[in-house]
Chains A and B, each alone.
Chain A
Amino acid sequence: MSGTQTMNKIEVKNVFKIFGARAEDALKLIRQQKAKDQVLAETGCVVGVNDLSLSIGSGEIFVIMGLSGSGKSTLVRHFNRLIDPTSGEILVDGEDILQYDMQALREFRRHKISMVFQSFGLLPHRTVLDNVAYGLKVRGESKAMCAERALHWINTVGLKGYEKSYPHQLSGGMRQRVGLARALAADTDIILMDEAFSALDPLIRAEMQDQLLELQKTLHKTIVFITHDLDEAVRIGNRIAILKDGRLVQVGTPKEILYQPADEYVDRFVQRRVASL
């Protein structure tokens, strides 16, 4: 699988993220291999991401997995710089996005990367159509173009006839389809999905997973998918990264994760899955 990837879309090199006022002191401690709890006790700082490096290939669905608090949502927000790292490098298409000023960052977010959120993040005062067109409108596309693209994606995700509805009139699954359509309408190479299906019930979730895989067959986007559910990860991921306490524990194809778990932590995930089968 990884042999077919010609180039890396996203590259993360030695990224640290530390939350708190004394981030510099905490960084020194963590570089001396001190544990997360010890850093917290000594500096009052929380370690979000700890010396993490990985690369994500163009056109793959890359799943980042971990328990809550493992830093996966923090990590994914580094890719579009909703969060800036304390230290480290982040390259997208070979460009160092940490060097971008506000203007360049805005252009980057408008054209290259979009995002789907766990609790949807829809605009409650706008219709489904306006919500889906949001990314296009923000970057200044014409009204006709916004409406045409938005309608196309509303139909594709199966929400035909709901254009004029407001988000509060829709069910959870439908709202997340709006969120997905919004990200797809922006037509960016990269889509970040932060626990996008976690708030949905199991049946709708499976349906959304199928839809995502179906779409990916024709779209070939680079999708970074966050989840805490190994079943979901195995089902949709080309590769899976497992995080614990902000550290990368293992990266590999679903098979590698299932049959060669790197340590006891990964093994526990896998065992639970086997037990539930």
Chain B
Amino acid sequence: MFPKNFTFSIADWVNGWVDALVTHYGDLFRHISDTLLWAIVNLEGLLRMMPWWLMLAIVGGIAWHATRKAVTTAVIVGLLFLVGAVGLWDKLMQTLALMLVATLISVLVGIPLGILSARSDRLRAVLMPLLDIMQTMPSFVYLIPVLMLFGLGKVPAIFATVIYAAPPLIRLTDLGIRQVDGEVMEAINAFGANRLQQLFGVQLPLALPSIMAGINQTTMMALSMVVIASMIGARGLGEDVLVGIQTLNVGRGLEAGLAIVILAVVIDRITQAYGRPRHGVGK
């Protein structure tokens, strides 16, 4: 038995802090929430309004551009067609919209943070344990305060997804830049390249495979959050899995689950193909 006089609790302190945050900054968070909601709703509306064949054609086009392989492109389009065929097209579009917005925010936050952390060892030392926490903390723990700040629905789902999905991108951007050959950096320095020329001319292009692997990981992790997102009111494929669980309808759950897997495979193949260097740069 652990001695009583050594125990303490941070629960009250944290509760007080969150309460204060909600009271004082509630309006600000409401405003962020509304803006974000507007973006998702519009994107979702657009994706759902688009005729299914046009959507398939666009995905097919992107897949072809990325992989240059007829078979891969055909398989990707065929798999998505299957999802539509089992009647989950609309839900698929909802999930896709949620995921695209979450990925976009992760990229906007993750890549700059990765660049900064590659530049400063001190920032990296602070950031890395923080990323560990973001990835290992059970998502329900931070869902509670996020729900208090943003209410139910898509917005908290996106926040939860970004917290979980952005860390690999930050890590891999940092790693990619740090792995750029020291002599190449020395050489461009010796020719007087300034910071922007170093970053955009050399560091980012050479770190691109690593950054694309990060974006790939981010999308995969974002997809693994869709079921949890549906628990706090985001619509989409996760919702069907949830209903499947609640009504013991294994078949329905499996269908939606497979649709999530298919979406994951499609996005994975496309982002991986973009991460491969184009003209065989390498050792």
**28 sampled A-B residue pairs with Cβ under 8 A:** A80-B190, A82-B190, A106-B192, A107-B192, A108-B192, A109-B192, A110-B192, A114-B190, A117-B186, A117-B187, A118-B183, A119-B183, A121-B183, A122-B187, A123-B188, A123-B201, A123-B202, A124-B181, A124-B184, A124-B282, A125-B281, A138-B188, A138-B192, A139-B192, A166-B279, A168-B283, A182-B191, A186-B191
CB distance from A114 to the nearest CB of B (A): 7
CB distance from B129 to the nearest CB of A (A): 24
B197 touches A138 (CB 8 A): yes
Q: Report the Cα distance A201→B171, complex, angstroms.
A: 40
B206 touches A124 (CB 8 A): yes
Known: A106-B192, A110-B191. A121 touches B197 (CB 8 A): no
Interface size of A in residues (CB-CB distance below 8 Å) = 29
Q: Which residues of B contact A121 (CB under 8 A)?
A: 181, 183-184, 186-188
Return the CB mask of A148-190 against B: 1 if under 8 Å, else 0: 0000000000000000001010000000000000100010000
Residue of A nearest to B280 (CB): A168
Is B189 an interface position by the 8 A CB rule?
A: yes
Q: Which residues of A contact B244 (CB under 8 A)?
A: none
Q: Which residues of A contact B194 (CB under 8 A)?
A: 106
Besides A82-B189, A106-B194, 11 other A-B contacts (C-beta < 8 A): A108-B192, A115-B187, A118-B183, A121-B186, A121-B188, A123-B202, A125-B205, A134-B191, A138-B188, A168-B283, A182-B191
CB distance from B281 to the nearest CB of A (A): 5
Q: Which residues of B contact A106 (CB under 8 A)?
A: 192, 194
Q: Which residues of A contact B283 (CB under 8 A)?
A: 168
Q: Report the Cα distance A233→B161, complex, angstroms.
A: 62
Is B36 an interface position by the 8 A CB rule?
A: no
Q: Report the Cα distance A46→B153, complex, angstroms.
A: 60
Interface bracket on B:
20 to 34
Contacts between the two chains (Cβ within 8 Å), count: 67
Q: Which residues of B contact A66 (CB under 8 A)?
A: none
Return the CB mask of B192-223 against A: 1 if under 8 Å, else 0: 11100100011001100000000000000000
Within 8 A of B (CB), among A119-133: 119-125
Is A135 an interface position by the 8 A CB rule?
A: yes
Q: Which residues of A contact B281 (CB under 8 A)?
A: 124-125, 166, 168
Most chain B CB within a 10 A radius of its CB, from A114, A123, A139: A123
Q: Which residues of B contact A168 (CB under 8 A)?
A: 280-283
Q: Which residues of A contact B201 (CB under 8 A)?
A: 123
Q: Report the Cα distance A80→B202, complex, angstroms.
A: 20
B191 touches A135 (CB 8 A): yes
Q: Report the Cα distance A169→B197, complex, angstroms.
A: 25
